């Protein structure tokens, strides 16, 4: 779009120069840096306060760029064909000639790759011409941002440029991560594509993740607001803020989807949690959300947001 053009050129220039640029994707905002430059990747870890054992996803404009970084099995090809561009991250064995640096992969023999489905993100990636490492643009362990203002609130000072887009983040939860390693295809993180849809594309059930290939970033406590979350609440108590689904709690609860639509609920999840948290409640009561389809990703994020903050290994 015309009004974005100069921003886009500047953003691409800055990324190539090693700066950090936050940009919208169809899932959440990413904090981007040149995935081939260890200094830029180190700045991402520092800006987020993220441990370096947790690898970053390399974002690329085309499946061909991804094929230069990771070894695609036939099943990985099938998933890429079906879901890219889109909210799917494939974790694949790293190819020797790949450009993504060791630090972005946290020294692992695998690489996480995604072609996002967002016009501004794709235009930016095309213009940069190399893989862009981009974790969600929040501080480590906090709620993922779905709007430019949320990014500025999270990372003020630590990011060189924030690209604005009012069409941002229609999916609202992070990408589904599928590992295709050692002959297995396993769900490493539920996300914007339902497990059922991944299995339909494969024509078979997903394998159980082995301990070796679990996404190292899947810590028990994550995506945390300041308030404590009380899950599967049947009603809310005096003094509590409330996050509703399908009108179950009623009152002045903020509803993820009054129609009970899981896609709408996913799109609203982080924005509503942020809005409720901003009121400074001690507790947010959360109505039950079904577990099928995108409900798996929503419940996963709610469970992590509700986990005791000392549940993570130090």
Dist CA 214 CA 138 (whole Å):
22
Residue list 155-194, contact with ligand TXA (CB under 6 A): 174-175, 177, 188-189
Query: Considering only residues 134, 143, 180, 241, which one is a binding residue for ligand TXA as defined by CB under 6 A?
Result: 134
**Closest to ligand TXA by CB, 113 or 233:** 113
Could you give the C-alpha distances from 296 to 33, 149, 236, 280, in angstroms and in order? 30, 27, 23, 27
Find the angle CA(50)-CA(112)-CA(154) to the nearest 5 degrees: 35
Q: Please give the size of the binding site for Mg ion, defined by CB under 5 A.
A: 1
Residue list 274-313, contact with ligand TXA (CB under 6 A): none
**Closest to Mg ion by CB, 143 or 284:** 143
- Taking a C-beta distance cutoff of 8 angstroms, is the pair 256, 264 a contact? yes
Q: Which residues pair with 58 in a beta bridge?
A: 113, 133
Query: Considering only residues 20, 21, 22, 56, which one is a binding residue for ligand TXA as defined by CB under 6 A?
Result: 56
**Closest to ligand TXA by CB, 110 or 257:** 110
Question: Binding string, 88-107, against ligand TXA, x = CB under 6 A?
Answer: -x-x-------------x--
Establish if 24 lies at the interface with ligand TXA (CB under 6 A).
no
Find which of ligand TXA, Mg ion, none residue 85 binds, CB within 5 to 8 Å per kind.
none
Query: Considering only residues 27, 89, 136, 146, which one is a binding residue for Mg ion as defined by CB under 5 A?
Result: 136
Find which of ligand TXA, Mg ion, none residue 27 binds, CB within 5 to 8 Å per kind.
ligand TXA
**Closest to Mg ion by CB, 24 or 246:** 24
End-to-end CA distance of the chain: 45
Instruction: Give the footprint of Mg ion on this chain (CB under 5 A).
Output: 136
Instruction: Give the footprint of ligand TXA on this chain (CB under 6 A).
Output: 25, 27-28, 30, 54-57, 87, 89, 91, 105, 108, 110-112, 114, 116, 134-136, 174-175, 177, 188-189, 215-218
């Amino acid at each position: 779009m015309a009004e974005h053009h100069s921003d886009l050129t500047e953003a691409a220039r800055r990324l190539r120069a090693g700066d950090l640029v936050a940009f919208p994707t169809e899932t959440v905002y990413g904090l981007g840096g040149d995935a081939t430059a260890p200094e830029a990747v180190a700045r991402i870890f520092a800006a987020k306060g993220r441990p370096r054992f947790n690898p970053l996803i390399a974002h690329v404009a085309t499946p061909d760029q991804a094929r230069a970084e990771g070894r695609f099995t036939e099943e990985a090809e099938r998933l890429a064909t079906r879901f890219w561009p889109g909210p799917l991250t494939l974790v694949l064995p790293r190819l020797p000639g790949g450009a993504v640096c060791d630090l972005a992969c946290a020294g692992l023999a695998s690489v996480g790759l995604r072609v996002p489905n967002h016009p501004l993100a794709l235009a930016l990636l095309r213009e940069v011409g190399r893989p862009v490492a981009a974790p969600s643009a929040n501080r480590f362990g906090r709620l993922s941002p779905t709007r430019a203002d949320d990014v500025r609130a999270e990372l003020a000072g630590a990011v060189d440029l924030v690209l604005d887009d009012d069409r941002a983040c229609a999916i609202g939860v992070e990408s589904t991560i599928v590992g295709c390693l050692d002959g297995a295809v396993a769900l490493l993180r539920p996300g914007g594509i339902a497990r059922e849809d991944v299995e339909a594309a494969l024509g078979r059930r997903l394998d159980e993740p082995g301990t070796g290939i679990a996404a190292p970033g899947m810590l028990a406590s994550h995506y945390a607001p300041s308030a404590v979350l009380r899950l599967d609440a049947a009603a809310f108590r005096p003094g509590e803020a409330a996050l509703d689904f399908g009108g179950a709690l009623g009152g002045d609860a903020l509803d993820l989807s009054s129609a009970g639509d899981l896609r709408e609920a996913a799109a609203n999840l982080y924005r509503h949690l942020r809005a409720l948290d901003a009121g400074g409640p001690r507790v947010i009561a959360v109505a039950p959300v079904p577990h099928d389809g995108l409900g798996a990703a929503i419940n996963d994020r709610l469970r992590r947001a509700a986990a005791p903050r000392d549940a993570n290994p130090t």
